[in-house]
Every structure is written in structure tokens, then in C-alpha cells.
Amino acid sequence: MGMGELRHVDEYRRQSGAAQLRLRLADICDPARTYRVMEICGGHTHTIYRHGLSDHLPDNVRFVHGPGCPVCVLPKGRIDDAMALALDEDVTLCAYGDVLRVPGSEGSMLDARARGADIRMVYSPLDALRLAREHPELEVVFLAIGFETTAPATAATVLDAERDAISNFSVICNHVLVVPPMQALLNSPDVAIDGLIGPGHVSAIIGCTPYLPLVEQFGLPLVVAGFEPLDLLAALVMVVEQLNDARHEVENQYSRVVPWEPNPVARALFDDVFAIRETFEWRGLGPIPRSGFRISDRLADFDAERRYGVVGRVVPDPRACRCGDVLRGAIEPTDCRIFGTACTPEHPVGSCMVSSEGACAAYFQFGRGLAGQP
């Protein structure tokens, strides 16, 4: 490694390494077949478009974007539920910055804040707990979102609140699990995928073993990958090699971070703080059985849904919005007719245009599909 290089970053961005992997890919790809490889994670989608990886693949190899952006999959009804709490109940709602911009039925949470709701941006659930601790006169509700990656922080915060008997703190839990939507997608007749690139961050928590039944059931290869461009190209090579060999295995390209087995500390937190919901509504994918966490019965006092009788609205997306199809990998963002016109990052109509991990936002940010751009 050269002077001034960042370990585990620069070494996975070198052009020479990328050139070698592209040559390897061109060498092993069978021109008589196609390779459609879904990257589940929105972080991977961002890397693919930030570094223009799709532009340098053989013609018969294609990334298909999946549903792994936590902001994108949060359904409109859950946004409306949270906004109703902030507007109708006397609560202080705390949420991550991206979530504040996701459109609900009547605008975003930023709009609700302009109408007088007490909605605050936080960087972690601990910020919300600190607010509750320092202001006992407020009823603080944390809007928790994310896959298994961010769920441990929420769980640990709820346990802190329990330990210190912080009674003015609760959580609307929207944490979701990554394997059930993958299963739902693979069961979908209009989604054609040959292989999968597994999410790096989630897998750092759940390990690789939860993917084994999926790979067995659908006969597809899955390679867990890191987030640098060379990570993704290397994972793609591994998927193509498996397909050529008619293998379907779980492989771990990101072993510098991801263990094979689940993280036992995170698993213990999940078991203590959460219970699996019978079903959870996903934007674009509809209700998926056993795909989301709720707060466990033992910790019901910290469950904002029970405390405030949250109704669980189900709200359809606007007719012009194709986020559901984008999230299922059925269309490219540019196939949505309002992409880049009525729907932009400044004025998002759909959730995939909000977070930098959303496929539409990544396309837009890196100039794809816009007039005059490649």
C-alpha cells in the first residue's frame, strides 16, 4: 500500500484492479447466455452508479437493483401514521434526516413540521433518548427504520430507557428483515434473476448462514459483497463463476467484515427487545409474512404503536409512481415517466428518489438517463 492510502478503501478502488477484474469477467462470460445479477442493498446500487460500474460490463451481464434501501421500502402508510402522531398527539417525533423528506399522503414530515408539528432530525436513537432524558416534559417518539443493520442500536437504546426508567420515550418500530423480501421477490413471476449479491452491512450482523435456505430453495448463487467498486466486481466474477459451474452456493467476498455465523450479541438483543410481526407492509412489495420487527411484549411500555393506538394505515402510492417496480428490479428508474421531471431529489414523488441509496436518486445524482447524459 502506498503512502497516504487508506487501508481497506484505496486498495479496493484501484483502476488496475478494476481492469483485471473486468478482463476476468469478459474472459469467463459465456456469450450464449445472460447474467442478471441483483444487488439487494441500496449501498451497492449507490456504488454501482457512483463508479459507473455498469458501463464497463460485458453486454450480457447486468446489475438488477433490489429492495435494500430502508428509506425506499418504508410504505406511505407508516409515514402517515408517524405524522398523525406528531400532528394530533402531543409528541416530539424524532427521525433520521432522509425519512423527513419521504412523501406521505399530505406531504413530508418537513411539511408537517412547517405546519407546527414538533418533528426533529436525529443521527441515532440515542439522540432521541437523550432528548427524553433532558426534557421530561416532552413525550419523545423515535421513528425507527432500517434492516438488521440498524436494529441493534434501537434495541440497545430501548434497554437503556428501561434500565433508567425513562417513561417519556417510546419507539415506532419499522425495522425489517432482509431475507423475507428476497424470498418474496424470487417468488414473483415477473422478476428474472440469475444470481444475487448479498448485502454487506446487514450480513455483518446476521452472517451468511440465513441465506443458505434461500439459495437451496431457488437454486441461485449468492455472494455477500463489500461496498467498494472492486468488491462488487469481484463478487460479480464469483457469481458468474458459480453460474458457469452450475453451482448455487453462499460465498463471502466481504470476509474482512462479515462473519459466517450471526453476531451473537445482536441476536441476543433482537431476542430480548423485538418480536417478529406476523406480516409487515413493504412499499412496492406489499405485505410480506414475518418480515418486520415489533417491540416485544415485555417492553410494551416503550412501544409507541401500543401507547398511542397507532392505526396502521395502508395507503397506495400515486398512480404515476413506479417505485414498486423499481424496488422489484422489474424496471429501470428511467422507465418511470416522471423520472427527472416531476420527480427529482429536490421534489421527490416516490421514496426511491429520496435517499442516496435509492436507485432513482443514484441514477439522477450520477447523471444517468437525463437529457444529454450517457
Q: Could you list the residues that contact ligand SF4 (CB under 6 A)? A: 321-323, 326, 333, 336, 338-339, 343, 349-350, 352-353, 360
DSSP 116-179: T--EEE-SSHHHHHHHHHH-TTS-EEEEEEESTTTHHHHHHHHHHHHHTT-TTEEEEEEEB-SH
- Tally of CA atoms within 13 A in the half-sphere of 103 that contains its CB: 20
Comparing every residue's Cβ against ligand SF4, the nearest one is 350
273 versus 343: smaller Cβ distance to ligand SF4? 343
For residue 76, give the C-alpha cell. 406511505
Q: How far is the CB of 280 from ligand SF4 (least distance, A)?
A: 20
Give the burial string for 332-360 (b: 16+ CB within 10 Å, else e). Answer: bbeebebbbeebebeebbbbbbbbbbbbb
| Burial classification of residue 241, based on how many CB atoms lie within 10 Å of its CB (0-12 exposed, 13-18 middle, 19 or more buried) | middle
**Least distance between ligand SF4 and beta carbon 67 (Å):** 13
The set of cell numbers assigned to 123 is: 443521527
**CB of 344: closest distance to ligand SF4 in angstroms?**
8
User: Least distance in Å: CB of 186 to ligand SF4?
Assistant: 22
Looking at the Cβ atoms of 153 and 342, the one nearer to ligand SF4 is 342
- Closest CB to ligand SF4 among 288 and 327? 327
C-beta of 66 vs 207, nearer to ligand SF4: 66
CB of 345: closest distance to ligand SF4 in angstroms? 9
Alpha carbon distance, N-terminus to C-terminus of the chain: 34
Cβ 106 to ligand SF4, closest distance in Å? 17
Q: Which is nearer to ligand SF4, 65 or 294 (CB)?
A: 65
User: Residue 26 or residue 320: which is nearer to ligand SF4 going by CB?
Assistant: 320
SS3 16: helix
For the CA atoms of 348, 351, 355, 360, the dihedral, rounded to the nearest 10 degrees, stands at: -80
For residues 28 and 222, give the distance between their C-alpha atoms in angstroms, rounded to a whole number.
18
Q: CB 187: neighbour CB atoms within 10 A?
A: 10
143 Cα distance to chain centroid: 16
Least distance (Å) between residue 222 CB and ligand SF4: 26
Judged by beta carbon, residue 176 or residue 349, the one nearer ligand SF4 is 349
If we measure between CA atoms, which residue out of 371, 352, 372 comes closest to residue 361? 352
Q: What is the rounded CA–CA span in Å between residue 212 and residue 206?
A: 12
To ligand SF4, the closest distance from the beta carbon of 34 in angstroms equals 24
- CA within 13 Å, CB half, 167: 1
Of the pair 220, 352, the CB lying nearest ligand SF4 is at 352
